Structure 1
Amino acid sequence: DAPQLPIDDQLSDRLRNEPDQKLKYAVIRGSVTPIGTALRSAMSPSVTGVLQTMTLTEHRVARAMFGFWQEEKQIIHVSANETPFRLVNAKHGVEIVSGLSAELLDMDTVYENYEPSSLTVFDHLFGLFSGVRQKGLQTTEEMLRDGSFITAVGELELDDTGVRLHPPSNGSPMFLTTATKSTLLKRLEEAKSSTLLKVILSGAISAVLIGLIARKLYKRKKQEWEEDKLRKQLEQSRATRRARMRSTVVSEEQLCVVCIVNPKEVICLPCGHVCLCENCAQKISLHCPVCRAIIEQKAAAFIS
């Protein structure tokens, strides 16, 4: 929704009629012109501009999952320089403030050099154990050249010094690009569609993973239910068997020495005392209740 305004003698009058003499978001186009002395390229002295970045990037191979090695890049150092400049159309101009903070900043690569690393045997061995081995260093210099015709998107403001464009105070992004407004909008729509597609794919993958986890949890819970049902059936069967045994004459010597209710069903090893029912055997695991010997193993016992 940002209007595209020409840089002419009517721009100041337009801003005077706006609240606080500002336009929250506007588009202008013009030629880059330094205010004062332009920056000179450090690596290509014949090139001058208003914005400059020097980037030192390390190229290396790192051990990833499953032992595979993959190439990766890591920025080691970035330095940036800026000189005041404005966008000019004929005799009129708009000063650009904080150009390096633009979210989209189109600059020309004026120098790029890659230096392969000279690795010793020790370096190779160290990389083998550490999982990271340097391949080389890349130096890149980028500049926004003076004379470039660019599109600027940001907040327009009229003050005592003239018209200025700076990053919007509402947090919206600022753009400095060689693309036209229509091309920029198309590029942003493509980026938005790509982001939406990634969100949808991530959501679908998350849904599948959640489904698999839920299925696994359901199976585990179902197995627990079945085991609990089987345990209750076994306990019921055991209780029925004990009830039948109680209907017969059971001597005191055949009763569990702990609860003195259920018949003896478990033998403690290695002492060999048959003295516990199954219920009490689940609760007693350290010492035999008869001789206090350490229980190493328990087994079923049948008393005739």
Structure 2
Amino acid sequence: MDSSGKPSTAQVVVLATSSALTAIIYSIYRSRATTVARLKEAKKVSIDQDLKNILSETPGRCVPYAVIEGVVRSVKETLNSQFVDNCKGVIERLTLKEEKMVWNRTTHLWNSTEKVIHQRTNTVPFGLGSHDEGFADTVRIIRPLDAAELDLETTYENFHPTVQSLSNVIGHFISGERPKGIHETEEMLRVGDSVTGVGELVLDNNLIKLQPPKQGFCYFLTRLDYESLLRSQGNSVRLWRILTVMFGVAACSMLLFILWKRYTHHRQSKKERSMLEEFKEQQRKRIRELNVEESSVSPTSCTVCLSRERSCVFLECGHVCACTQCYEALPEPKKCPICRSAIDRVVSLYNS
């Protein structure tokens, strides 16, 4: 905070940044809390022979937000893993990531970074069937890639290191980038996996579908069961709540600090003005006691004796208001005649 009492640029930046982050994190927290609340209210439906009858009797032949648990079954064809034998699935995601070390010019350290250079996702129509193999009907999964949490299993992972040569190493140090290699992964949703789906359950032309909800609710496809999904989302809510409180406290603390500094500056200024008025009154009284004209007193005269020139600078307040003889005559502990603050040291002032 500067001498005028206004907050410094750094304080304003900290306050603005912490306030903005608090607002952003709070909005995320509210969104996650709403998701958990809706998950708890979702209707849990079993995949059995009564499901079609239940949907037929439901208004609109749909349940706006439903939870189903079942086993992944392909509709027609399946996807074969490109790396694992006898591994069949309905969703396959191939990812290539470039991993490298980048020189940070600020910290003077090598930081590890990664960049997705290629990703392809293949899908085939599939549904969720009952754990009872005797029941053949399935719930068709619509637009699975739109799920907020599409939980896939890593079926293959390999790292291809970059071949280094002396010229490459020198070039990497000059450019500030040092490639480590290519990380290749394959992820799949395999046939037979137990999956929990949360979304809009509809009956369309004798076909039961689970699709993304239309009311802005979250769409889930996860290998966790319903209770584990709730716990996972609840832990996320707690994390964002803690972050909201932390950044909120930081923003409030900085705001209170700025207001307190403004208040103390205003109080100090008011006190100094009051003491200055009191000092001037005492000076006028002294002039009357000495029976001299106020206009005849030099502006640089000692404010105590009014006869000698001011020759002392009082620190730390910085006032120049007395001569050496009057300073030495001040009672202990010595205080500035103007602001009454303690005199830590004195610097002699020489008038030319």
Same fold judged by TM-score > 0.5? yes
Partner of 1:123: 172
The partner residue of 2:142 within 83, 97, 104 is 97
Q: Tell me whether 1:3 sits opposite 2:51 in the alignment.
A: no
SS at match of 1:79: strand
Rounded to whole Å, the distance in 2 between the matches of 1:227 and 1:149 is: 72
The Cα of 1:40 is off from its aligned counterpart by 3.3
Partner of 2:16: none
Partner of 1:78: 119
The Cα of 1:37 is off from its aligned counterpart by 2.8
Whichever residue aligns with residue 186 of structure 2, its letter is E
Residues 1-21 of structure 1, C-alpha deviations (whole Å, 9 max, x = no match): 42231243x322221100110
The Cα of 1:134 is off from its aligned counterpart by 3.8
Partner of 1:278: none
Rounded to whole Å, the distance in 2 between the matches of 1:171 and 1:202 is: 23
The Cα of 1:141 is off from its aligned counterpart by 1.4
Partner of 1:174: 219
The partner residue of 2:292 within 230, 242, 248 is 248
Residues 74-129 of structure 1, C-alpha deviations (whole Å, 9 max, x = no match): 444432222211223432122110111222322221221212234521112322xx
Distance change in 2, residues 1:43/1:161 (3 Å): farther
Partner of 2:63: 23
Q: How many residue pairs get matched? A: 252
Whichever residue aligns with residue 165 of structure 1, its letter is L
Rounded to whole Å, the distance in 1 between the matches of 2:249 and 2:106 is: 25
The Cα of 1:42 is off from its aligned counterpart by 4.1
Partner of 1:146: 191
SS at match of 1:171: coil
The Cα of 1:227 is off from its aligned counterpart by 4.4
Rounded to whole Å, the distance in 2 between the matches of 1:109 and 1:91 is: 28
Q: Which has the higher strand share?
A: 1
The structure, 1 or 2, with the larger RCO (C-alpha pairs under 8 Å, 6+ apart) is 2
Whichever residue aligns with residue 188 of structure 1, its letter is L
Rounded to whole Å, the distance in 2 between the matches of 1:51 and 1:217 is: 57
SS at match of 2:43: coil
Rounded to whole Å, the distance in 1 between the matches of 2:204 and 2:180 is: 52
The Cα of 1:137 is off from its aligned counterpart by 2.5
Partner of 1:282: none
Residues 185-211 of structure 1, C-alpha deviations (whole Å, 9 max, x = no match): 234224414532552364156426633
Partner of 2:202: 157
Q: What pairs with 1:1-304 in structure 2 (closer than 5 Å)? A: 1-8=42-49, 10-44=50-84, 46-62=86-102, 63=104, 66-89=107-130, 90-118=135-163, 120=168, 121-127=170-176, 133-160=178-205, 162-180=207-225, 184-200=226-242, 202-204=244-246, 206-207=248-249, 210-211=252-253, 214-215=256-257, 217-219=259-261, 221-238=263-280, 240-241=282-283, 245=287, 248-249=292-293, 264-265=298-299
Q: Aligned Cα RMSD in Å?
A: 3.5
Q: Does the CA contact (< 8 Å) of 2:47 and 2:138 recur in 1?
A: no
**More displaced, 210-219 or 142-151?**
210-219
User: TM-score, normalised on structure 2?
Assistant: 0.59
Distance change in 2, residues 1:177/1:219 (3 Å): closer
Identity of aligned residues (%): 30
User: TM-score, normalised on structure 1?
Assistant: 0.67
Whichever residue aligns with residue 109 of structure 1, its letter is T
Distance change in 2, residues 1:102/1:7 (3 Å): farther
Rounded to whole Å, the distance in 1 between the matches of 2:222 and 2:284 is: 89
SS at match of 1:30: strand
